[in-house]
Amino acid sequence: MQTFDILIFFVVLGGCTILILFIVGWVTKYIISQDMLKSIETFKRHLALESGQALEAFKSSLQQQKTLMSDNLISTLAKLHGLLVDVNKAGREFAASVGRESFNVSQGKAQSASEIILQFVELFSKSSIFFSDRLSKQLNTFIAETATPVASILANPRRELTHEEKLAEMAEAWRNFEDKIPALMGEMKKEYRKSTTPANDMWENKA
């Protein structure tokens, strides 16, 4: 009987031990899982905070780049427009001198107009990245078909021509250039207005 009681005692003791170990294990796992959940939540909060800060920093940098591009576009458009005004004035002075002043004086004025045209071409070639594709295409066509050939004729008319023929050739070249100025200025003003509109998106305007 005593042996049986002892056996029951050990069985009960073993069961209690197993139960205690199970409870301890469960509590340990629970504590660990809670700590992990807290760590995960903390990590999520930090990640969200850092991601938000990184996003804001990216937006700020992007806005600064847009502002810089817009400022460069506005500045370049103003310079190009100013050169068109200058060349228009120089070209008209040349045209007015033909037949009224000596060949050398008229030729000098034609060369002045040519130099301004070349300044216009050079400035655009260095700054075309700031313009919309539409205006860039128009300016490239204007430069290739009108500005460059006219500048060449104004600066260096054909040698085999007489003075009168040279003046006539230069005057015709100038008229061809002058006819294109109003439309070109109009397109540049449109580009300027787009770039100075508050809601304007510089990337969308590259269409």
The residue that leads in pLDDT, 40 or 133, is 133
pTM above 0.75, yes or no: no
Average pLDDT over residues 183-204: 72
pLDDT band at residue 70 using 50, 70 and 90 as cut-offs = low
The residue that leads in pLDDT, 178 or 72, is 178
pLDDT score of 62: 45
| Joined tokens for residue 163 | 């003075």
- Say how far apart CA 38 and CA 136 lie, in whole Å: 57
The residue that leads in pLDDT, 62 or 151, is 151
Residue 116 has pLDDT above 90, yes or no: yes
- Say how far apart CA 130 and CA 107 lie, in whole Å: 35
- Say how far apart CA 134 and CA 101 lie, in whole Å: 42
Average pLDDT over residues 79-83: 91
- Say how far apart CA 129 and CA 124 lie, in whole Å: 9
pLDDT band at residue 196 using 50, 70 and 90 as cut-offs = confident
Pick from 37-41, 74-78, 115-119 the range whose average pLDDT is largest: 115-119
Question: Using one digit for the tens of pLDDT, what is the confidence trace for 153-178?
Answer: 999 888 899 999 999 999 999 999 99
Residue 1 has pLDDT above 80, yes or no: no
pLDDT band at residue 86 using 50, 70 and 90 as cut-offs = very high
Nearest in space to 124 (alpha carbons), one of 137, 112, 114: 137
Nearest in space to 72 (alpha carbons), one of 121, 123, 137, 117: 123
